[in-house]
């Protein structure tokens, strides 16, 4: 009965964690390498951003992939986008 807790399913529109990891690999990174590159001692530090909001981690991952964090996690940035669009109108 020692079941591993499952990660929360991503919100519709958010990239699946496997897609994020694959995009990092295509860009020549792993979460471990990226964490070490940015001075984090624990290799798993950036994996936190895959499962729950952490703006700094999201930004580092998105920069490595070459996209905006709101592209990867639109559900986490929906309010920011709505505010921006309201100001624009």
Q: Is the pLDDT of residue 36 over 60?
A: yes
Reference 47, options 33, 68, 27; nearest CA is 33
- The CATH code of domain 17-87 reads 1.10.260.40
Q: How sure is the predictor about 40, in pLDDT bands with cuts at 50, 70 and 90?
A: very high
Is-contact 59 69, C-beta < 8 A? yes
pLDDT, tens only, 65-82: 999 999 999 988 877 555
For position 13, what pLDDT does the model report? 87
Average pLDDT score over residue span 2-19 = 74
Q: How is the chain split into domains, by residue range? A: 17-87
Average pLDDT score over residue span 6-35 = 88
Which stretches within 1-89 are classed as H helix? 17-26, 31-37, 48-51, 55-65, 69-72, 74-88
């Amino acid at each position: 009965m020692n079941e591993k807790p499952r990660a929360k399913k991503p919100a519709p529109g958010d990239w699946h964690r496997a897609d994020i990891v694959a995009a990092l690999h295509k860009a020549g990174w792993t979460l471990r390498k990226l964490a070490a590159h940015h001075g984090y001692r624990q290799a798993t530090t950036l994996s936190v951003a895959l499962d729950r909001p952490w703006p700094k981690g999201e930004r580092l991952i998105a920069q490595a992939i070459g996209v905006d964090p709101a592209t990867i996690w639109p559900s986490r940035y929906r309010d920011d986008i709505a505010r921006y669009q309201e100001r624009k109108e």
